Amino acid sequence: MTASFPALRLRRLRAHDWSRRLHAENVLTPSDLIWPVFVREGTSEREAVGSMPGVERLSVDLVVEAAREAADLGIPAIALFPNTPQEARDETGKESANPDNLMCRACRAVKDAGIPVGLLTDVALDPYTSHGHDGLLSEDGRILNDETLGVLAAQAVNQAKAGADIVAPSDMMDGRIGVIRHALEAEGFGDVQIMSYAAKYASAFYGPFRDAVGSGGLLKGDKKTYQMDPANRDEAMREVMLDLEEGADSVMVKPGLAYLDIVARVKDRFNAPVFAYQVSGEYAMMRAAMDQGLLDRDRAILEVLTAFKRAGCNGVLTYFARDAAKLLAA
């Protein structure tokens, strides 16, 4: 070896486990995870989501157990999504404002149990409408943006009254963050956080989720007039800017893995709390590869979630949250 060989050998830092840990630039912990949980009617009921192996719809009493498990694992928050019965759905999604709907009953049950876990609730109409859209429809099938805002605000206040700590508008209507923030303040819920789905794309990766909440097959048309074009980056910056200006406490990019460039750009530009959702299609793809022995399950889970952290995420909504927390504790 000649004397001119570089004096700096980066492999020295990788030679031992202790050194790799010492020089890690990003560290994943259970505190970085939010666990999405699907809620169904019944008592002591578990129902497998066929398109998402390992994921179940849980009755309210079992949601309480899941919340307790999350707290025991160090997961700081769970995200609730209701599987509203078809008979409770209609064109206007009025069930979203029912104080005794599935979401509200689940929130109250967890709070009444005194479990120290944050509750994030989805604000959108698609789990409650008979047409599967996130907003009200005109007679000719257009999404009525402004008419939807009041319904979303009522939904958010309804969830706050039930004990939601974070309301998370996922509808992508223009102006909804400001309207929801004003409604929460007016009703005395100024401490309830808003995590805005600020950059939510019209993605092919949502199919299994729609099955899980009972909206699969209901959707009339598509959501391209209100969810973002996957080709766009600059538009995401404008969406995030508007939501932060309107009062969002944190923002979300959805989907996650295919949009890490958006996560990184949002973090670099705004330096605000940013989250990403590792969505159902991403989960289903990874799980299928794991089940066929094509991916090392444990390594793949932690590697992908670390990639979210590396891109700039403060946290990740992931169906692997419980698995990851157990791996990190091992």
Q: What's the CATH number where 50 sits? A: 3.20.20.70
Confidence of residue 1 (pLDDT cuts 50, 70, 90): low
Identify whether 254 is a catalytic site residue: yes
DSSP string, 90-135: BTT-GGGG-TTSHHHHHHHHHHHTT---EEEEEE-STTTBSS--SS
- Residue 9 has a pLDDT of 87
Q: Is there a domain that residue 227 lies in?
A: yes
Query: pLDDT tens across 24-71, in order?
Result: 999 999 999 999 999 999 999 999 999 999 999 999 999 999 999 999
Identify whether 220 is a catalytic site residue: no
- Closest listed residue to residue 41, CA positions, set 108, 105, 89: 105
Give the structural domain span for 133.
Answer: 27-329
Average pLDDT, the chain: 96
Q: What is the pLDDT of residues 132-165, one digit of tens each?
A: 999 999 999 899 999 999 999 999 999 999 999 9
Contact 315, 34 (CB under 8 A): yes
Judged against a pLDDT cut of 80, whether residue 2 lies above it is answered with no
Cα(253)–Cα(274) distance, rounded to whole angstroms? 8
Please compute the mean of the pLDDT values over residues 284-305 and round it to a whole number.
97
Question: What's the total number of domains in the chain?
Answer: 1
**Residue 156: inside a domain:** yes
Instruction: Outline where the chain has alpha helix (H).
Output: 17-22, 60-73, 102-112, 145-162, 176-186, 207-212, 234-246, 260-270, 280-291, 297-311, 321-329
Give domain status of residue 8, yes or no.
no
pLDDT for 220: 79
Q: Is residue 127 part of a domain?
A: yes
In a domain, 56, yes or no: yes
User: What pLDDT is recorded for position 236?
Assistant: 98
Amino acid 7: pLDDT: 83
Per-residue model confidence (pLDDT) at position 221 = 83
Q: Does 47 appear as a known binding residue?
A: no
How far is CA 221 from each of CA 43, 86, 224, 225, 257, rounded to the nearest angstrom? 35, 19, 9, 10, 26
- Is 7 inside any structural domain? no
22 domain-assigned: no
For residue 323, the tally of other CB atoms under 10 A from its CB is 18
Angle in degrees, 0-180, between the axes of helices 234-246 and 176-186, rounded to the nearest 10: 20
Greatest Cα pair distance in the chain: 79
User: Which one of 223, 254, 267, 309 is the catalytic residue?
Assistant: 254
Active-site option among 200, 223, 267, 309: 200
- The pTM assigned to this predicted structure is 0.95
